[in-house]
Amino acid sequence: MNLTEAPGGRGPAAAGLTACGTAEHSDAIILFGPTGDLARKKLFPALYDLALAGRLNVPIVGVASSDWTLEQLCDRVRSSLEEEVDGALDHDAVGCIVDRLSYVSGNYGDADTFGRVSAALDGATAPLAYLAIPPSLFETVVKGLDDIGANQAGRVVVEKPFGRDLASARELNATLNSSYDDEQIFRIDHFLGKEPTLDLLVFRMANAMFHPAWDRHHIASVQITMAEDFGVEGRGRFYEEVGTIRDVVQNHLLQVLALIAMEPPIDTSARELAEEKMKVMRAMRTVDPNDVVRGQYDGYRGEDGVAGDSQVETYVALRAWVDSWRWAGVPFYIRAGKAMAVTATEVVVEFQNPAQMFYADPQAIRPHSNHLRFRMKPGEGVSLLVSVKGPGESIVSQAVDMRYEYDSTRDGPHQEAYARLIGDALRGDQTLFARAQSVEEAWRVVDPVVASAPAALPYAVGSWGPELHEDLRPDDLTRLMAATPDGGWHHPLLPDGGVSDVGVG
């Protein structure tokens, strides 16, 4: 049942192949796991967005072990879109999905299952295989795709987490590379496809005024915050296997750090962007466990699926270092957690304090260090904190925020991350996808903390994580202070222009 092979090569004898033998555009989608939550919440809405844009013109083959009918799967698509899509549905776009959909039910380890997948492809030779399944099944599914030749000119998309540590990440990459070349593998991190993440990159590179100041001589520190005001919400069993470091730090937030710290690329091609981000990862020190504080919100152990003595972190704060010429000596602080004061994701670049002021009276003027804030969620935008003269006769400074809201100048629908990334994968554009070496380097950075993590400290729901108090053990106090920026964390800026003052920042 193998797809047609080209003489003397790996790929099929088909027009429109790239230099590595991969088709310029995938001619089918094989969705493994269409009955799962990821498909319901993210993938079907993404396909709907592509259909609305007129970009979904390939057959879709759903594959799962569930004993469903095609009609049941189509109903699942419709109910998913009714739940997840805002506003009235476009029935033509819904029809575009269900009319192209077929379904194969069977065991992933059964050769007959993949024989029926091959038949359902109906002549397509360059399918995009989306593995919305547990990583433990990747090896079995990749082998099945290899057996029917779907890997020859096709592509494969895998979801995070890309392993549980450095060793398992290397094993996963070896599994994928046993059947696919690097140019065919798309490691999807939806955070990289979000509009604010891309805005951060463009803002950095397109504004020459910041170029001379973007280094250790002018920047005192960088703070990256990803806070959520809700808990695990019924996903306790999943979170027990992951924790905050694996869930968002090793992937999302280290990628954001790389975008902040990378050198300007020669161009915006996937290869050049990946190379510059890779240089940052290679320059990062392995995180010292003494620079990390882990926390667990009160009540987490009462969640379904959570062990009564669990030490899994729902909060982490750490200090990282990039030992490059540009960033030597500049601390990068990362914090992320659940059940915190607000839901907000942002990056704050704090510039050095001004030099001694020239007025005789040192109390006459108190300039504030400049802060460049990238607000990624909610209320996407950029703000710059500057000092101006305050009102009145005295010469005193006053800090003011110069703000730009992205939504105020943008017309048209907002493209969701999954729609963007699936569209890119269909076209073979790897710009916004993680590369194997980058994934492994990110695991190297956090591996000691994952392997030998300090005990998780309790924190109150609705707070900013573990707080300083007299009952802390000396080593916990040392870690908490090391993972806290000088002067404390900056509170996230809220969409209404206010600053969150809930809890302790």
277 in a known ligand binding site:
no
DSSP for residue 146: H
Give the whole-angstrom CA distance, residue 192 versus residue 305.
30
Segment (H or E) for 37: helix 37-38
Residue 371 marked as a ligand binder: no
Question: How is the beta sheet containing 155-159 ordered, strand by strand?
Answer: 101-105, 60-64, 28-32, 127-131, 155-159, 185-188
* Rg of the chain on CA atoms, in Å: 25
Task: Give the pairing of strands 457-459 and 397-405.
Answer: unpaired
Tally Cβ neighbours within 10 Å of residue 158: 25
| Active-site residue (options: 25, 91, 252, 490) | 252
The β-bridge partners of 269 are none
Told to judge if 252 belongs to the known catalytic residues of this protein, a careful annotator would answer yes
Residue 160 annotated as lining a ligand binding site? yes
228 is in an annotated binding site: yes
Strand partners, 373: 348, 383
Does 65 appear as a known binding residue? Answer: yes
Integer Cα distance of 225 and 465 in angstroms: 12
Q: Render 451-485 in DSSP notation, one character per residue.
A: HSPPPPEEE-TTBSSS---TTS-HHHHHHHHHTS-
Q: What is the token pair recorded at 431?
A: 């710009």
The sign of the dihedral angle between the CA atoms of 53, 54, 58, 62 is positive
Tokens of 370: 């400049």
The contacts found for 387-392 with CB under 8 angstroms, 24 or more apart, are: 387/354
- Whether residue 91 is annotated as binding a ligand: the answer is no
Name the DSSP class of 431. T
192 close to 255: Cβ distance less than 8 angstroms: yes
189 is in an annotated binding site: no
Q: Which residues are annotated as a binding site for NADP(+)?
A: 65, 160
- Active-site residues, by number, are 252
Binding-site annotation, residues: 65, 160, 190, 194, 228, 247, 338
Binding-site residues for substrate, please?
Answer: 190, 194, 228, 247, 338
